[in-house]
A and B are shown apart, each in its own frame.
Chain A
Amino acid sequence: MIDPEKILSSSDLLVKIETVCHRRFSAENDRDECYVYVIDSLKADNLKRLRAFKGKSSLNTYLYALINSLVIDFRRKQYGRRRIPAGVAKLGKWAETVYRFVCWQRFTFDDAYDFLRIDGLYTGSYIEFIKETEPIRKAPCRKNPAFQSIDEAHESSLKNIDDESSNPLEFLIQKLDRERRIKALKVIRETTAGLSEDDQLLIRLVYGSDQSVPAVAKVIGLAAPTAGKRLKNLMTIYREKLLAEGIREP
């Protein structure tokens, strides 16, 4: 059995932690705090998290999964420490959600409006939204100094797709106007929810997270070509559902 003490002191583990924290956070300070948090958590309770490794997977994958779980804990603790300004909170849940999207996750107000509409948290028009978010624009926001500008660019890892073959659904959605985009996203969400468990995960990982088809095929327990074929069939289902709702490429 592998000695947890040796794993903890190995340069390989330290490089992994550094790499993962670097990938997940853009601010230097956050990266440093993340690194320290992961190391401390691994040391906690007499290295119980490293001792939990039973050798059923490779150590390499186990360490990445473990570090990622701790980074998620760290991020949640970090968000947990933050408070939504009282002036925003009193506007209601929708305003808190807007604040989270724009201030903490660095999306634009436009994105926040669309996300709220998809989730059914806001039903008003875009003009009403702009008016009602005035107090949010004036609220303090440590993480985003350019907070008051409606055109501010977010630095999220989520980006525009400019290659149809990499993600045809995202490519289509980008081309739609706001109302049809919101409608299309609702159709896609409902269609996904109606798929088998395997197909849901296949779609989520390939088109929601940009994982490669061979990597996801392994997770689902399929050969890569079979997963590719299944994806094509699923695209046909999405296309038909979108067409049935009158959504087509502009």
Chain B
Amino acid sequence: MGKWMNKAISPSVVPESEDHILIEDLARLAEGAVDAADRQHLIGHLNRCQRCYQILQQTLTDVSAETTLQPGSAPWWRTGTFYALAASILLVLLIGGPLAIKHWNQRPPGILAVLDLDQGLKDILLEDDALRWEKKERVNRLLTALQQRGLAVKDLSLVLLSKPYYQKKSLFGPKEVLHIRIDNKVAYLEVKEMEN
């Protein structure tokens, strides 16, 4: 953990409460198994008692470490997430399948996507401030980056950027995303800021 934040915002040490939270109540709190009134009382105490706070945070660390180390209690294909995902895919296929087939038969497919603007993409955008990319090497770098991020794009001949991109310097600056539209091997890019 970071030493500065730990030092700056730990609960006060003096005066420390004598009347500590019961161990079992701390365990219940760590598991989220307390009602609202109890929770308010316990949280109020934790913000003022270094000892109880330490027990809680160390318990959370230990329980979390044990959960991480343990092999999964059930195979991945028996988890709720898997069933939810499978049901979602089935629904999408049932509802969207016929529409998609109709759409594909009518016109060549285009791609619309929104990607988190990570450092890899930023590096490509920051190479220079040209709005029209025709250099094959740069276009190919973008193509590879898009494929690595799961976009089913096979070829690109031209990239058009809506406006020059400059790196944001603010630490708490808003998250940036890259809007992409690909039609006839031409990629249209636009960087937008996400609201917090």
Binding site for B on A (CB under 8 A): 16, 19-20, 23-24, 49, 52-54, 56-58, 60-62, 64-66, 68-69, 71-72, 107, 111, 115, 118, 156-161, 164, 167-174, 181, 185, 188-189, 192, 197-198, 200-201, 203-205, 207-212, 215-216, 218-221, 232-233, 235-236, 238-239, 248-249
Contacts and interface: CB of A to CB of B under 8 A. Distances in A.
Nearest to A68: B58
Contact of A158 (B3, B24, B30, B58): B3
B56 A207 contact: no
Contact of B44 (A160, A197, A219, A249): A197
The 6 residue pairs across chains A and B that have the minimum distance between CB atoms = A170-B2, A158-B3, A218-B32, A57-B27, A210-B1, A61-B27
B77 interface: no
Nearest to A196: B43
Given A159-B1, A211-B61, A219-B60, A58 B31 contact: yes
Contacts of A157: 1
Main secondary structure of the interface of B (DSSP, over half): helix
B23 A233 contact: no
Contacts of A54: 24
Contacts of A107: 3
B152 to A, nearest CB: 28
Interface in B31-67: 31-34, 36, 39-40, 43-44, 46-47, 51, 53-64, 66
Interface of B: 1-11, 22-34, 36, 39-40, 43-44, 46-47, 51, 53-64, 66, 169-172, 196
30 contacts: A56-B25, A56-B28, A57-B30, A64-B27, A64-B63, A65-B24, A65-B30, A68-B62, A71-B58, A118-B8, A158-B1, A159-B1, A160-B2, A161-B2, A164-B171, A170-B2, A170-B4, A171-B171, A174-B4, A188-B5, A192-B9, A198-B43, A201-B43, A209-B61, A210-B1, A210-B2, A218-B31, A221-B32, A221-B36, A248-B171
